[in-house]
Amino acid sequence: MTRLAVPKTYKLYIGGKFPRSESGRVYEILSSKGAFLANAAQGSRKDARDAVVAARAAFPGWSGATGYNRGQVLYRIAELLEGRRAQFIDEIRQSEGVPAVAAARQVDAAIDVWVWYAGWADKYLQVAGNGNPVSGPYFNISTPEPTGVVAIVAPQQSSLLGLVSVLAPAILSGNTVVLIASEKFALSAISLTEVLATSDVPGGVVNVLTGSAAEIAPWLASHADVNALDLAGAEALDWISLQVSAADTLKRVLAPESGVPAPSVERVTFFTETKTIWHTKALI
C-alpha cells in the first residue's frame, strides 16, 4: 500500500500565530532547478498592518524584560535551530542549489549569530551608555533604550543567514519586528517562524511576512506606528522612495547593503534611542 505524503500549508507569522494572508493569494517557491517546493502566502497591505499592530502590542513586555532574559531567549532560539539543523540544511540545499556542505556552513553560521548576539544582550548597555561629567551635585547618565517597532526587508539572496543577521540585533535590545522575508528563498524563513513559535519568544515580538517586498515595503515605510526601517535587502527596490516615506513619519533608516551583514554592536545600537537621566547627589 502506497502512503500519501501530508502536504504542508505555509502561512504568515503574525502575533505568534500562523494566519493565512487576508488576500487569499499564494505564490510558488521553486527549487534552484525550477521544481516546486511549496506554496507560500502572498502578504498584503492588510497583513502588514496587522503585523504592526501585533508588534506594537508586544513591545511593552519585550522591552521591559531584562537584557539577561532577552539573551536567554536568543540563546534558546539557537538551541532549537541546532536541533532542526538537518531540516534547514536540506531546505537551503534545495532552494539555493548549493552542496550540502555549503548549506551546513550557512546553518551553522546562523546558529552562531544567535549565540553571538545573545552574549551581547546584557553587555551592550555598558558599551553604548555612559556616565557624563557635569558641573554640580548631580549624576548624569546616558543609556540606550529600544526605539520601538522596526520594519525590516531581509537580504533577498540568502535563505537563512541573511534573515538571522538582521533579525537578531533588532530584537536583542527590546525592539519588536515586522520582517519581509526573501521572496525567492522564503522556505527557511517560514521554518524559522516555527522555531520562534516553539521557543520563548513572546507572540508579536517577531512577525514574518512572505511575498513581494516591492509590494509590502512601501506600506511599512509610510506606517506612522513603525519607528525604524532596515533596508538591508532593498537594493533592488526603489529604496529612495522608501526613505522619503520613512522621513515623512520621522523614522530612522538603515540603508541597503550588499550581501549579508556581519555581526556588530553598531547594528544593535542603531535601533536604540539614548535616554539621559539627571539625579541629584545625596547631601550628607
List Cα–Cα distances, 223 to 13, 19, 205, in angstroms.
Answer: 19, 21, 18
Which one has a higher pLDDT value, 199 or 139? 199
pLDDT in tens, 111-157: 999 999 999 999 998 888 777 777 777 777 778 899 999 999 999 99
> Measured between alpha carbons, how far is 202 from 24 in angstroms, rounded to an integer?
27
> Measured between alpha carbons, how far is 30 from 39 in angstroms, rounded to an integer?
9
Distant-in-sequence, close-in-space partners of 278: CB < 8 Å, separation ≥ 6: 138, 139, 140
- Say what the pLDDT of residue 95 is: 94
Distant-in-sequence, close-in-space partners of 276: CB < 8 Å, separation ≥ 6: 132, 140, 141, 142
> Measured between alpha carbons, how far is 31 from 179 in angstroms, rounded to an integer?
22
Residue 113, phi-psi category: left (phi > 0), alpha (psi -120 to 50), beta (remainder): alpha
Distant-in-sequence, close-in-space partners of 206: CB < 8 Å, separation ≥ 6: 13, 167, 171, 176, 177, 179, 193, 196
Q: What is the dihedral of CA 199, 159, 152, 64, to 10 degrees?
A: 20
- Say what the pLDDT of residue 281 is: 74
The mean pLDDT value for 191-201 works out to 95
Confidence category of residue 275, pLDDT binned at 50, 70, 90: confident
- Say what the pLDDT of residue 284 is: 56
State the Cα angle at 116 between 111 and 119, rounded to 5°: 125
Report the topology of domain 26-280.
Answer: Aldehyde Dehydrogenase; Chain A, domain 1 (3.40.605)
**Length reported for the chain:** 284
Domain ranges of the chain: 26-280
Q: Are 22 and 52 in contact (CB under 8 A)?
A: no
- Say what the pLDDT of residue 282 is: 65
22, three cell numbers:
487576508
Average pLDDT, the chain: 93
